[in-house]
Amino acid sequence: MSRIGKSPINVPSGVTVTINESVVTVEGKGGTLYQNITDGIEISVSENVVTVSRPSDSKTHRAAHGLYRSLIFNMIMGVNEGWTKKLELVGVGYRASNRGQVLDLALGFSHNISMQIPSEVKLITVSEKGKNPIVELTSFDKQLVGMIASKIRSFRKPEPYKGKGVRYVGEIVRKKAGKSAAK
């Protein structure tokens, strides 16, 4: 069996998990999330414990077993505690600000980049003198937070020579030696 898929998921108090045909619904203080289940994966809820099982050892069932267990676990953790991603803007003149749900980034291009953030995501920008600006995204939906953080990072990925760009807080960027190192 899948090592991830066979471990049960404990449901904390305040979170309800319901299964209706092939749709798993997780409700909590953060919000409500839905996930369609395919491939014949069976999910059962009993006494605040969710277990995921598969009908056979075929390759597709083995792959989906751990996947759906992880997705359901992320949904339960999201509606209970929430997920946060922090991005750091490293570079001279790089700035971040927000007006409500509109994120405004100055990343060294000839124009600023404005991005509309969905209402499910809480957006905070922190700019302190002498430190790199930080963009903090918080939501109960892990997939949505990760997708938005990835989109913001794609505007200016960290380059390998000076390390300038948008990176996750704590991300280590390996730097290359420049032309002068060859002499």
What predicted TM-score, i.e. pTM, was given to this entire model?
A: 0.88
Give dist(CA 75, CA 60) in Å, integer.
22
110-158 confidence digits (pLDDT tens): 999 999 999 999 999 999 999 999 999 999 999 999 999 999 999 999 9
Q: What is the largest CA-CA distance in the chain?
A: 68
CA distance 131 to 96: 12
Q: Using one digit for the tens of pLDDT, what is the confidence trace for 20-71?
A: 988 999 999 999 999 999 878 999 999 899 999 999 988 889 889 999 999 9
3-state secondary structure of 180: helix
pLDDT at 182 over 90: no
Write down all domains in the chain, each with its CATH number in brackets: 9-80 (3.90.930.12), 83-168 (3.90.930.12)
* CA nearest neighbour of 26 among 161, 153, 142: 142
User: What's the mean pLDDT when you consider all of the chain?
Assistant: 92
Q: Mean pLDDT throughout 85-92?
A: 95
Best CA proximity match to 148, nearest among 137, 132, 134: 137
pLDDT score, position 136? 97
In this model, does residue 183 exceed pLDDT 70?
no
Pairing of strands 122-126, 113-116: unpaired
pLDDT at 1 over 50: no
Q: What phi, psi does 53 have (nearest 5°)?
A: -135, 160
- The whole-angstrom separation of Cα 128 and Cα 122 is 20
Residue percentage of the chain with pLDDT more than 90: 79
pLDDT at position 179, please? 82
Mean pLDDT of 1-10: 81
Predicted local confidence at residue 34, as pLDDT = 95
| Mean of pLDDT values over 81-98 | 95
